[in-house]
């Protein structure tokens, strides 16, 4: 499958693997008082083109959906260039402000692309937002177009997805035979997605999702958008600010993506980010008596690379009929790297694989891919991720170019670079391709926007936060010096800075350097 990896703050799936064993985080602590929340939203009445008025002025009907939360859906144009054509549905969930008098809605996106905001808020509202924000705002999660409970991208059944994600191409990576087979598989999977999804498959780009976001804002009755976006959600928020600077309110973008980075730059930064996180884990590991590696960090890293090569040449069979190849092993390694609290799982992973075991690797990879032990998938995150990325990120299919890039990646990130190469073998085989180049987002005329970056973030490297904050006309960088993916909730300093901004409008005079 595609070489780049998701950038999402998954709450129940990536915060603590121990909790994932129980299939949930701690239960959501929330309450709802019917007399304090209307069953319908209040239309804004703002002036919009006549063709859009039925969408912007629609009245929402909320229903209880458990744990004191309410759910509804918003109708949006399938194609924003043809609003009088077919429509789609966008799923929403909300927790009413626990303080009783909300200052408005706070919309939250967990990233991805392809992450479900509905699941994120339902399962992890206390991880997504602080108690202070829950008092002040009605917290709203939404599934972007193509995702989850919204009108969704679908691609065959579970067996089709299993074969696509976990299947192994036996030819030598980078050879013509490997390209031929990889491109065939990608084209076949794309055709399956098109057959099942239809026209929507070519309309799940982020600009369309940002237009949906403005529609959701209006349907909720908010004059401006208050928004907390994690990972890919930072890109969605930045695109929104670019398209609707006069409707942007208080926006916080945590775990930022550089919108100007092309595919090569994007992949290189991620490869180096995960490599840096691996070295941080190994530096911690080799000083422990129970570490599965001995010697120096460099020697341990060399051993990890050897494990990857061995699995590429000779995948290990698993009891359920799947085989553990290098790509699945890569996924298994990177999931614990998202959060330092999960590094112990890397000890178990490497110990198990060195003994020719596959249980831990498949547990971790399945958690990343939202796959249950019975072979079913609980989300469509993988399908949506592929569809959205192929519309957002132009890709070069030239094989010689990809081979040269692979050498550069291997030099920059010896462990992960080889397994993150050859991205051009995927999207050019997809039914729809990106039509817009990657470019900086300045959002002229927007209000102040906080951009949060973590120095040791493996999935969205810190330099992306620096880049986005500098591009935005009114961007303000908030740095967290630490490990892990995203910072809100992990750093008291970051959490207080963000909460002060949302609640009081306080903009730090300079980077607080948390």
Name the percent of the chain in helix, strand, coil, to the closest 5. Answer: 45, 15, 40
**428: exposed, middle or buried (Cβ count in 10 Å: 0-12, 13-18, 19+):** middle
Alpha-carbon gap, residue 140 to 270, rounded angstroms = 30
What DSSP state is assigned to residue 2? -
Overall size of the chain counted in residues: 514
Token digits of residue 256: 């930022």
Alpha carbon separation from 503 to 100, 156, 222, 253, 395 (Å, rounded): 15, 45, 16, 16, 41
Active site residue 481: no
Residue of 239, 169, 284, 273 lying closest to 438 (CA atoms): 239
Query: Residues 41, 105, 124, 231: which is the catalytic one?
Result: 231
Which residues in 343-393 belong to E strands, given as ranges?
A: none
Alpha-carbon gap, residue 391 to 347, rounded angstroms = 38
Q: Which residues have a Cβ under 8 Å from the Cβ of 101 and sit 6 or more positions away?
A: none
Burial call 297-311: b when 16+ CB within 10 Å, e when fewer: beebbebbbebbeeb
Q: By the 8 A CB rule, do 122 and 141 touch? A: yes
Query: Residues 485, 490, 491, 499: which is the catalytic one?
Result: 485
Alpha-carbon gap, residue 514 to 500, rounded angstroms = 15
**351: exposed, middle or buried (Cβ count in 10 Å: 0-12, 13-18, 19+):** middle
Alpha-carbon gap, residue 218 to 224, rounded angstroms = 8
What DSSP state is assigned to residue 90? E
Neighbours of 343 (CB within 10 A): 17
Alpha-carbon gap, residue 236 to 254, rounded angstroms = 12
Token digits of residue 392: 């957002």
Residue of 231, 228, 199 lying closest to 213 (CA atoms): 228
* ∠ CA 327-333-336, rounded to 5°: 140
Active site residue 231: yes
Query: Residues 143, 222, 366, 457: which is the catalytic one?
Result: 457
Active site residue 101: no
> Can you say how many angstroms the Cα of residue 55 is from the centroid of all Cα atoms in its chain?
27
Catalytic residue IDs: 231, 457, 485
């Amino acid at each position: 499958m595609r070489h780049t990896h998701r950038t999402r703050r998954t709450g129940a799936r990536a915060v603590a693997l121990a909790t994932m064993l129980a299939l949930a985080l701690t239960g959501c602590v929330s309450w709802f008082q019917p007399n304090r929340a209307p069953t319908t939203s209040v239309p804004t009445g703002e002036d919009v083109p006549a063709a859009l008025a039925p969408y912007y002025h629609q009245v929402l009907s909320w229903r209880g959906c458990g744990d004191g939360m309410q759910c509804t859906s918003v109708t949006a144009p399938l194609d924003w260039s043809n609003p009088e054509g077919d429509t789609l549905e966008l799923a929403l969930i909300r927790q009413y402000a626990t303080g009783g008098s909300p200052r408005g809605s706070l919309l939250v996106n967990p990233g991805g692309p392809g992450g479900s905001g509905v699941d994120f808020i339902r399962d992890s509202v206390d991880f997504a937002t602080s108690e202070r924000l829950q008092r002040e705002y009605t917290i709203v999660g939404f599934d972007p177009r193509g995702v989850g409970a919204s009108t969704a991208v679908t691609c065959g059944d579970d067996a089709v997805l299993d074969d696509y994600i976990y299947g192994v191409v036996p030819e030598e990576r980078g050879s013509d035979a490997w390209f031929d087979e990889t491109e065939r598989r990608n084209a076949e999977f794309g055709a399956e997605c098109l057959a099942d999804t239809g026209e929507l498959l070519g309309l799940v780009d982020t600009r369309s999702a940002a237009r949906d976001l403005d529609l959701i804002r209006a349907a909720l009755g908010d004059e401006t958008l208050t928004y907390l976006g994690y990972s890919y959600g930072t890109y969605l928020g930045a695109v929104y600010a670019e398209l609707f600077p006069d409707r942007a309110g208080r926006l916080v973008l945590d775990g930022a993506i550089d919108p100007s980075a092309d595919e090569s730059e994007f992949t290189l930064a991620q490869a180096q980010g995960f490599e840096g996180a691996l070295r941080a884990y190994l530096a911690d590991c080799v000083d422990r008596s129970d570490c599965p590696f001995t010697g120096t960090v460099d020697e341990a890293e060399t051993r990890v690379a050897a494990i990857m090569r061995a699995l590429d040449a000779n995948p290990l069979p698993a009891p359920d009929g799947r085989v553990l190849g290098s790509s699945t092993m890569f996924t298994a390694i990177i999931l614990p790297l998202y959060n330092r609290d999960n590094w112990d799982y890397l000890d178990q992973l490497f110990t198990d694989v060195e003994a020719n075991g596959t249980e831990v690797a498949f547990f971790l990879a399945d958690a990343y891919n939202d796959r249950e032990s019975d072979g079913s998938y609980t989300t469509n995150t993988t399908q949506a991720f592929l569809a959205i990325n192929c519309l957002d990120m132009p890709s070069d299919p030239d094989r010689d170019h990809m081979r040269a890039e692979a050498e550069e990646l291997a030099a920059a990130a010896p462990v992960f670079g080889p397994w993150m190469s050859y991205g051009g073998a995927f999207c050019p085989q997809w039914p729809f391709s990106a039509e817009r180049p990657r470019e900086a987002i300045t959002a002229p005329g927007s209000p102040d926007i906080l951009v949060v970056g973590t120095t040791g973030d493996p999935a969205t490297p810190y330099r992306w936060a620096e880049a986005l904050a500098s591009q935005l006309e009114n961007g303000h960088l908030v740095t967290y010096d630490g490990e892990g993916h995203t910072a809100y909730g992990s750093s008291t300093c970051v959490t207080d800075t963000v909460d002060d901004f949302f609640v009081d409008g306080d903009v730090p005079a300079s980077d607080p350097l948390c």
